[in-house]
Amino acid sequence: MNIELPPLLHGLAPDHLADIVGGMGQPGYRAKQLAEWMYRHHAMDWGTMSNLPGTLLTSLAERFDPCGLTLQERQCSQDGTRKYLFELRDGQSIESVMIPMEQHATFCVSSQVGCAMACSFCATARGGLVRQLSRGEIVEQVQLLALDLMADPVEELGDRAFNVVFMGMGEPLDNVDEVAGALKILTHTDGLAMSPRRITISTSGHAEGLRAFLDLRLPVGLTVSVNTTDPDKRKRLMPIPGRTPLSESLDLAEMHARRIRRTVTVAYVVIDGWNDHPDEATALATLVARRPFKVNLIPMNRIDDRFGPPSADALLIFQKVLADHDVRATIRISGGDDIDAACGQLRRRRTS
């Protein structure tokens, strides 16, 4: 199937709306009204944009698609985690996750269909890279989750504010242009008006991606997935990112941290009997200490019988070794254990 699909409405930066609306013979204030529908009210169809003239809506509908994502499945966990499977216009599917935190919700979004990084512990890697997501498909994930949070509020949350983390399917720094385009819309005052401090990009950390990211000088947070400090083991666990020496990735990440004055997170998926030895914690501490970094320990979420979660003891000892070296480390409590909430699992169950 190779039918050209119209571009998504929600991939348009607010700055471009005046030109588009002007080109359709409409006065400038209509662009502002359109932006309000698109990004403040998260309008996903033309019918809701009630104060816009029919002629403008018809012209827009000829050129743009107001929604590219269709909800296929929504799972809610006992602990409040919500997992969404969205179908894209070409029949592909992606996952997004909502995780209620203490004060706010965290939206975990995808940046690609599949992934080319081939990490052996990750469900998304299994089918390789299918295609990039467009900026509109990234922005819509945030909007559809925001709408879901409004329609079905999480009671314990103090407010409806949300953070966005690029920790869903894909390697965001292999899709830098579209991710940057989405970030522009998310942070623009006439877009979703999010503070960049509420946004984090998570990367497997290959040098090309990190360099492209640094060149953009975006003030968003950064997480680097390290997972083991041993170069040979890292190449086996993360074949593509493993080609970049870890010290080089961490130097680039440190440059970003200093530039935006925000701590970089080192993510470490802890795998039973594989990278959970206290010696590995010491090696990690040596690499991380004296850098503006903190560590997030993520117990392995089992996807097959190859890699399993560490014992609670091993995890706590690992954390203590880091603390003894003055390295701050948190343990991520895995949400959504009762649903398919490890990244890529929902899509994999559907497609297999």
343 is catalytic: yes
Binding test (CB under 6 A) with ligand SAH, winner from 257, 303, 327, 341: 303
Cα Rg for the chain, rounded, in angstroms? Answer: 21
> Which one from 108, 115, 119, 343 is the annotated catalytic residue?
343
Binders of ligand SAH: how many residues, by CB under 6 A? 17
Write out 136-174 in H/E/C secondary structure: HHHHHHHHHHHHHHHHCCCCCCCCCCEEEEECCCCCHHH
Is 301 an interacting residue with respect to ligand SAH (CB under 6 A)? yes
Paired residues of 202 in beta bridges: 223
Q: In Å, how far from its chain's centre is CA 177?
A: 15
Six-digit token string for 247: 């010290």
171 binds ligand SAH (CB under 6 A): yes
Contacts of 148 (CB under 8 A, 6+ apart): 74, 82, 84, 98
Residue 298 as a binder of ligand SAH (CB under 6 A): the answer is yes
Contact 297, 331 (CB under 8 A): yes
Q: Any catalytic annotation for residue 62?
A: no
Pick the binder of ligand SAH from 21, 43, 98, 122 (CB under 6 A).
Answer: 122
DSSP string of 233-296?
Answer: HHHHHSTTGGGS-HHHHHHHHHHHHHHHT-PEEEEEEE-TTTT-SHHHHHHHHHHHTTSSEEEE
Q: Minimum distance between the CB of residue 9 and ligand SAH, rounded to whole angstroms?
A: 27
343 is an interface residue for ligand SAH by CB under 6 A: yes
Determine if 121 is a binding residue for ligand SAH (CB under 6 A).
yes
Catalytic entry in 95, 140, 171, 178: 95
CB of 183 to ligand SAH, least distance (A): 15
Which residues 211-230 are close enough to bind ligand SAH by CB under 6 A? 225, 227
Residue 113 touches ligand SAH, criterion: CB under 6 A: no
Binding site for ligand SAH (CB under 6 A): 121-122, 167, 171, 202-204, 225, 227, 267, 269, 298, 300-301, 303, 342-343
Residues forming the active site: 95, 343
